[in-house]
Amino acid sequence: MDEYILISTLNDFIFCPYSIYLHNVYAGGDEDLVHATPQTQGKAAHTAIDEKTYSSRKDELTGLSVFCDELGVMGKIDLYKSKEKRLIERKYQLKTIYQGQIYQLWAQYFCMTEMGYPIDILEFYSISTNTTFPLAIPTAGDKKELQDFILRFKQYDPAQAIPVNINKCTHCIYCNLCDKIESENVYCLQLKTLNIVQYL
Ligand code: SF4
């Protein structure tokens, strides 16, 4: 049986396959050294969800682990309101919704529905601006698009050259740790190098 793919990894893959390698290299390290500002804010935004302190209401599920056998993916949802059949992905800040984030929420949707949780409403919620962004329920065509993307992920050849895009790279949280680019990232990591460069 194939192993489940983490839904968050799909998002990393669409952003840059090399970021998955860097994420794994630095996982378990000192988080203050590795995390750039957006990631720290995002992590803080998810703390209540991860620690399941966001809500004690019986009709609200937070931080639920979800799986989908059909797609071979697994992950965690942020918030499901069962009365409204509403699945919500919370982000600290949302200026643009990227394709990877849409794939993430679609994947969560297919996990939840396969597990028997009905969903009528999908949405992103920006904590910093208290704004909601609805997302259409995925169609059969959307599901096929997601399945094709998962297949592309599975068939990825790591020997393939990594395309470096300066705009993207300088906004990448791993920029200061990445050996594919010389520039600094725009978030000015604190104390970036001392214990980290030795691994590159
Ligand atoms: S800095 Fe660029 S090449 Fe390196 S992981 Fe980030 S996006 Fe990929």
Q: How far is the CA of 2 from the centre of ligand 1 (A)?
A: 28
Of all residues in the chain, what percent are helix, strand and coil, respectively (each to 5)? 40, 15, 45
User: What 3-state class would DSSP assign to 164?
Assistant: coil
Rounded distance between C-alpha atoms, residue 80 and residue 89, angstroms: 9
Q: Is the CB of 200 under 6 A from ligand 1?
A: no
How do the pLDDT tens digits run along the chain, 200 residues long?
468 999 999 988 988 988 888 888 776 555 554 555 555 555 555 565 555 556 667 789 999 999 999 999 999 999 999 999 999 999 988 888 889 999 999 999 999 999 999 999 999 999 999 999 999 999 999 999 999 999 999 998 878 888 888 888 888 888 888 888 877 665 544 444 444 443 33
Handedness of CA 81, 86, 89, 91 (dihedral sign): negative
Domain boundaries of the chain, sorted by first residue: 5-152
Q: Is the CB of 19 under 6 A from ligand 1?
A: yes
Q: Is the CB of 164 under 6 A from ligand 1?
A: yes
Q: Is the CB of 196 under 6 A from ligand 1?
A: no
Please give the CATH architecture assigned to the domain spanning 5-152: Alpha-Beta Complex (3.90)
Rounded distance between C-alpha atoms, residue 22 and residue 26, angstroms: 6
Amino acid, single-letter form, for residue 126? S
Q: Is the CB of 169 under 6 A from ligand 1?
A: yes
Model confidence, pTM: 0.78
Residue from 72, 54, 71 nearest 63 by CA = 54
Atom 4 (ligand 1) nearest CA? 178
